[in-house]
Amino acid sequence: MHIMSEPKEAVFQFRKIGAAIECPSTHFASQRSLGTLCHNRWSKLSLRAETTSEVECSETESSGAILRAMASQFFRKVMGLELEEKILNAGSLVAIVGVFLPWIGGEKIGGALMSYSGFGFYTTIIGISVFALHLFVILITLIPLTGGPVLIRRRYREVVRLCATAEAVILILAALSVLIKVTFDLARMEIRFGIYVALIGSLVALFESFLRFQEQRKGFVQELFHHPEGDVQPVDKTEFFEAPPPPPPPPPPPPEEHRTYR
Residues sharing a CB contact under 8 Å with residue 164, sequence separation 6 or more, in sequence order: 133, 134, 136, 137
pLDDT digits (tens, 9 = 90+) for 176-187: 999 998 888 887
Q: pLDDT per position in the chain (262 positions), as tens? A: 444 444 444 444 544 444 444 444 444 444 455 556 555 666 665 656 666 666 555 666 666 677 777 777 767 777 878 888 889 999 999 999 999 999 998 887 667 788 888 898 888 999 999 999 999 999 998 888 888 888 888 888 899 999 999 999 999 999 999 999 888 888 788 899 999 999 999 999 999 999 998 888 877 666 666 555 555 555 555 555 566 778 888 888 887 776 665 5
Residues sharing a CB contact under 8 Å with residue 192, sequence separation 6 or more, in sequence order: 101, 102, 103, 104, 105, 115
The DSSP result for 148-211, as a single string, is: ---SS-HHHHHHHHHHHHHHHHHHHHHHHHHHHHHHHH-TTEEE-SHHHHHHHHHHHHHHHHHH
Task: Report H helices in 80-145.
Answer: 83-100, 124-145
* DSSP 8-state class, residue 106: E
Kindly report the pTM of this predicted structure: 0.60
pLDDT digits (tens, 9 = 90+) for 114-170: 888 889 888 899 999 999 999 999 999 888 888 888 888 888 889 999 999 999 999
What pLDDT is attached to residue 101?
93
Q: How far is CA 133 from CA 89, 118, 159, in A?
A: 12, 14, 14
